[in-house]
Every structure is written in structure tokens, then in C-alpha cells.
Chain A
Amino acid sequence: MSIEMIGVIGVLSMFILMALRVPIAIAMVLPAVVGIYYLKGGMSLATTIESIFWTQSTNYALSTIPMFILMGEFLFVSGVTNDLFYTFRKWFGHLRGGMAIATIGASAGFAAASGSSIATTGTIGVITAREMLKAGYDKALTGGSIVAGGTLGILIPPSTILILYGMLTGESIGKLLIAGIIPGILLTLLFILTIVISVALNPKLAPKGESSTWKERFSSLKYTIWILGLFIVVIGGMYIGLFSPTEAAAVGAFGSFLIAAVRRKMSWENCKTSLVNTLKSTGFLFAIVLGSFSLNHLLVITHLPGALVSFITDLDMSKWMIFVIIIIIYIILGAFMDSLSMVVVTVPILLPVVQSLGFDLIWFGIIIVLVIEMGLITPPVGMSCFVLNGVVKELDLGTIFKGAFRFLIPILVLVALLYIFPNIALYLPNKMF
């Protein structure tokens, strides 16, 4: 048996274990344990695991993850999310489909404080779904716009997925986060355009809402000051070089703690809930990270990524064709795997291929996030749809998936735009201090 074949068996075993409902972290670690033991022996296994776990668990750059999670948790308990929807509703509520537009706007706003699509979908869904249904919005449009807006959580900085991607590829986490800004804004606008076109073609989807005076609209802007201010300090500070990503995340968490305190929402109970949720998210995220690094070690010692590069190079296909194949692979995987595991499993394998094709790794990170977003809103896994169905029982899964389908188009459009104009993602990182 060739050494590469051991790597292939390792990857296949991981998929089998995952399918058998074994926790993803364990599904990645077990083949690594068996493979490393088989190839290098018990002593080497102990040293390797010790080295991987110690290095990654004490990785200063990775403290960005719990800090950004904490920032989102504190902001959630501060209640600013409700205010965001209120503001967007004042501005767009009078339009046909205006509440769906406000949902996308509020999601983009919340995404600027949260690095998770699941958190964004759950939070915004609870606030907006019943309001939209009460106003007579089509159920599919309601569900679709909420889950689509939720996907912005992993694109607009901070983004947990981009931080992990940066760690796996060795790219600058700061640049990756900044790279998500313009595509995030563009995708927000494309989602809004999708709603506008949908309701123009079928006015029955959404009624017109109440109009607000200009005074009310401008007055409502005061509610966005908290998140806008925090975003400017955290992301702006990182962009102009005031803070490293880790420092930006900690300052952001502290800032959101103060916001909740000023708004008299930082009770002991809220503080405890925020910390417990952060601890839980840290636990599962890092378990997967450590599992991923263990499996990657097996892949490296079995030379599997190198063999994959040779195989793809021998196919003699154009760069464009390989790009399309990679996207299709991600779309298929997205149907069966959640976003986090997809990144940690595929990136180390595909990284040498992507590098050999000459793609910019920061640009590719944004592409990956966009494709993962599609996985979040398509069946059968479609995690965001399950989350929305969990918090808003009136929206059944089938309806949410149906409604989400139309929002795949803007994501694909943005992927195409990014392929043609890579600077959409690279302009800001290239100008960073």
C-alpha cells in the first residue's frame, strides 16, 4: 500500500465517522491517531499530539476567536439588534418588500458585530419573522430573506470562518477580515436587489408598509450609533494599524460590555450567559481546530496534498475549469457538511492546489466563504434554515429552503464578479497599513 493511500484511507475514515454522528473533532482526530501510530509509532504520536495541541491552544492569534464571540454575545444582550431592525424599518418599511429589505439591513448591521451566520440568523429571525408574517409577507420570502441575511455573518467582519481560514493558510487574519468588507456590502445590495425584483415581479409576495416622516427616519439613526461606533473602532482600528486583530477583538468585546452596561442591560445573569455561551462556542470550535491540525499532520506525512496537486496538474485543464470544479466540490460538500468542518477539512487539502494555480489566498478565502454561504441555505444540511425553523415554528423547513433558493443567485453573481474583478476583495487589504 502506498503512503498516499494511507492518507486517502484517513480522509475516507473521517467522512465515514462523520456520517455515523461521531463529533467532527473526534472524527478528524481518530484517523490521525491510527495513521500516525501506524506510520511513526506510539512515541511519535504522543510527541506530535503534544506539539499540535500545545502550539494551537496557546496560539495568541487564535484568542481573536473567543474575543469576537464574546463581543457578539455582549452586544446581543445589550439589545442593540432590535434597534437596528427598527431603524432600517423606518427607512425602508414603506416600500413593497421594505421589511424584507430592513431584515437584510439589520442582518448586515448585526454581522458587523458577530462572526457567526447561525447567531445572525437566530437573532434577527426572532425579531423580524413574526413582524413580517403579521404584516402579510409571503412565508417563503420571509424565511428566505432572514436566512440570506444571516449568511452575511461570516462575510462581513468579524468572521470566525475567515479567522480559521487565515490560521490554516498562514494568511494575515487582519487582511482577510478587511477583505470581507466590500464583498459584504455588495452582497447586501445584491440581496436587496433580489427582493426588489422578486416583489416587482410578484407584488403578492409583500405588501407596502407604513411610511415614516424624514424626521422619524433621521431620528432613528441614533440607534445605529452603538454598532457603527464599535465597528469603526474595531475594524477601522485594525485597518489603520492601531490594533492587531487579537487586540481589536478584545477591545471590541470590552466596548460591547460597556455598551450593554451603559444601556443598563449588563446584569449578572446576562454577563454569565454571555460568558457561558462564549465558553461553549470556544470549546467546540477549538476541538475542531485541534482535530483538523491532527488530521493535517497525517495528510502531510502521507504526502497526499502533493499527490493531489500532481494529479490536477496532469489533467491539463485551464485555471478557470479547475476553479469551477473546486466551487462545485464545495457546493456538493455544503449539502452534507456544516460550514466550519468544510473549511477545516478541505482547506489543507486544497491549499497546495490553489497555490499551484497562482490564486491569491485572501481572494480565495472570500470565495470559499461565499460558497459556504450557499451551503448554509441549501438542503439537506442548510444549518441557517434549521436554526430559523427552530426559533420561528411558523416557518416550516420546506418553505424556508424554497424562499432561500432565490438568494443563491446573488451569491453566484458575486462569485462570478469576484473571479472577473478580484480587486473587489483585494483592494482594501492591499491598502492596509
Chain B
Amino acid sequence: MVSEALPLPIRKSPLAIVYEWLGTGDHKKIGLMYIVYALLFFVVTGIEAALMRIQLAHANSTFLSPQLFNRLFTLHGTTGVFFVAMPILFGFGNYLVPLMIGARDMAYPRLNAFAFWMTAFGGLLLYASFFAGDSVAQGGIAPDVGWFAYAPLTAPAFSPGHSTDYWNLSLLLAGVGSISGGINFVATILSMRCPGMTLGKMPLLAWMNLVMGGLVLVTISPLTAAQVMLMVDRYLGAHFFDTQAGGSVVMWMHFFWIFGHPEVYVLIIPCFAFISEIIPVFSRKAIFGYPAMVAATTSIGFVSLGVWAHHMFTVGMPSYGNAFFVLTTMVVAVPTGIKIFNWLATLWGGKIRFATPMMFAVGFLFQFLIGGLTGIMLATAPFDWQLGNSYFVVAHFHYVIVGAILFSIFAAFYYWFPKMTGRMLDETLGKWHFWLLLIGFHLTFDPMHIPGLLGMPRRVYTYEAGRGWESWNMIASIGVIFQGVAVLIFVYNLIQSYVKGAPAGNDPWDAWTLEWATTSPPPEYNFAVVPTVHSRRPLWDIKHPDDPDSKYE
């Protein structure tokens, strides 16, 4: 490879650089800020998890006090969903969507910046709680009500002081940011596509961010509503969730899960997008069944709005209520399975190249399959009466969040880092990262299912000996070491490659979507000339003028 001299950046004073980033509306810069912010909180979440796993490695451990442990799992869940997963996916979406649809920026650049800063402040507010109160080492007054903050545990009577308010207000801020982001994604994808890019010709990543953006609008808002109700209860003496006044705490559960379930689809759908871009390129084949993938994703978006009470099977809904939610939850598994089969069919007959992005993508496929199957077990209400609220659930959702979502995010990192920085991530370090993470992930989360089957509930700061839980918990805790090392290798890879990675060029992976048609990194205006497209893979058409996609679509 001929080494290319990368253009020297113009010298700017540090203050000018800070001002530029603080005030930018450029989707690429905002995307990068989201991603870096999320990575910082990812490390925080990991530390919280590691502390909890140390505590749980032994029965009756006294490494952490119950108060601190309860704050840790509350923060871990809240941070992981709102300040790691959502920002990182919004970050990638922000960076990639305009490039992939041939636009110069998102529809609303200033709204974009607003959305990022709202999310950022939300996270800072949540962690300010650590430093309020008497003792940072005991967790300050960080919230300790669990990430779903069930009433009436959040009532002033049971949560005196302000810890719950930190939970409530930080998420209200972040929620406004998320809804703003959702508006921006939908408006951008519908109104800013380049000429020729009909909805049927846009990349699957654009489709999936469209569905995600639309879903955000009706997913986060119920949580916002419920949180306003909680605020009014706590500060104005209202009775939304006040059982003494006849209020219903089950109503909080309904509202929370009306948000909470579609939220996990908000998280996974952008990951489907990454996989749908990466698997074709590294199999050297077009995605199998593009229309089916669009239909499946859209129907997942809609059906996901009707499954929420599968989180409430033990709450005492009547039998027909439980049965209804069993049905809808299992129905949503059908389009999800369809997607797995379409990815499989894309691999089939291809020429698979196992660069690091593809390794993470294949890891996603296997792990998402397993996470989905344990999900069906949980969807079966009677089985859930045993498994619900146990470590089986914790294992299931970490299988999907770490095994599927996180793996696909790493795949996205290795795939698009060259585009964002102009340099390749190191492949050797990448493979170390992958294998250590794979081992660590399975060491932690495979055995974790078993204590659930043997009766271990979740959110317990310690547990009795003699229930058959100790060995599995110990193995799970050991896995953390491997995962920690893997993440450290990744961070090192990021930094080292940013400084002296191999130059990437425009199109290091020989890919087919528009982002690879411009420089790495792209100029601020993205494209010198707004492109016109004629098929789903514009660069394939250019590279194969004798056999363009437009002939077959």
C-alpha cells in the first residue's frame, strides 16, 4: 500500500477548537461527541458491574454494604440504557445517516446539538448525586430504586431525600434530548435524501434509523409523562401513585413498561442496521431479501408497542390479560427470526472475509439467536412466573445487550472508524479484543442462567449459601476480568490507531454505500457534488458497470 500523506490540519488555538466543538451543528462532530461521551460512561458502567460481581462472587459477602450495592445496580442499569446505549447509537446514526443518504447534514443541525447537550447534562446530573450527600464511598445520595423505579418505593415515604429526584430529573432531560433526536432522524431520512434515492433504494441503515426515530417519539414520551406524574406526586402532593389515596402503583408499571419494552427495540434496531450493512460487505453479496428486512423491521416497531405487560406477568393481571401478552410477545419473535434467516441467507454462498468487523457481526448472530430463544422462554407466562425477576432474566437481557448490542457496536467501530478518522484500527489488537471479549462474555453470562433456574432473584446484594448458587456466581465474576482486559485493549487500539494507524483511504473495505464515496474523514460538507443514485448499492454500480444492481431491483 502506498503510504499517503494525510493533509495537515490548520493550526487552531485550543480555545478555538473547544468553541468549535461546543457550538457545532455538524452531524459528524455531534456524532463523535455522542460516541466519546458514551464510551466514558461505558467504562463507568463496567466499573459498577465489576464491583457488583466482586460482591456476588461469594455467598454472604460483605465487600459492599447493601446501601451501596443497591445504588450501584440502579446506576448501572440507568447509565447503561440512557447514557451508554442510546447516545452511542444516536452518535453512529448521526454520523452515518446523512452520509449514506447523500445529504450534507441532518435536517435540524441546531436541534441536533441541543439533543446532544440535553443528554450530556442528564448524565452529569445523575452522577452529581454521587457527590451530593455525605459519603462518596457509600454512593452519596445516588438513586437506589432500581432502573425501573417502581412506585411506591419512589414515594417520599419510602425514598426520603433527593436520590429519586436525581433519577427522575436526569432522565427527563435525557428524554427531551432523545425525542429531539428522534424528530431529527425522521425528518432527515424523509426530507433530505439525494436525488434518485427513493425509500426503496436507501440503505437498510437509513430504514432502520427511520423506524428507530419514529419509535423513539412514542416510546420515550410515555416515560416523560410518567416522570412528570412522579414529580407532581413528590413535590406537589399529588396522588398518581399514592395507594393511601386510592392510587395505583400498577399504573406506574404499565406506563414504565409501555416505555420500557419498545425502548429495547429502540436499542436493538440500529444494531440490526450495523449488521445489515456489515454482513453483506464481508460476504461480498447483496443483503438477501431487502423488502422483507424493511417489512420485518417496521412490523417489529409496531408490534413492540403491544407487548409491554410481559414484564408484569407476576403482578396479578387476569388470565386473559396474561394470555394476550404471551401472544403478542411471541408474535414479535416472528419478524425477528425472519431477519436472522435473511442474514444467514446473505452469508450463504458468499465469500466471507473474517476481518474484525465481521467477527463481531458473526458473534452477534449466534448470541442474538440465543438471547432471542431465552426471551421466548420468558414470554411464556407460566415459565416467567418462575424465571421472572430472577438471574435468568438478568442473563437473558445481558445476552442481548452485551452479546448482541455491544458486539454489533464493536463491529460498527471497526467498520466505520476508518471513515471517521482516516485510519484503520489494528487488526491484531482487534482480534485479541474479540476473542477475550467472547470468552469473558460467555464465562459471565452463560452460567448466569443457572442460578435463575435454581431460584436466585435479582437485585440482591448477597445470597444464602447452600442453594447451589455459589459456583455459578464465581464463574460469572471471573468472566469480568476477561471483558475488562478486552475493553482496555479496545481503548488502547482506538487511541493508538487514531494517532498512527495505517491510512484508510476512501473505501478500505470495498463497500457499496455512499459514505465510502467521499474522503476519510469526510469534509464538513460531506460531498463536493450531491450524488444521484439509481440503485441500493451506488458504488457497486460504479464498480460493476456491466452488472449493476439497477438491472435487478
Does A associate with B in a complex?
no
Interface, chain A (partner B; CB < 8 A): none
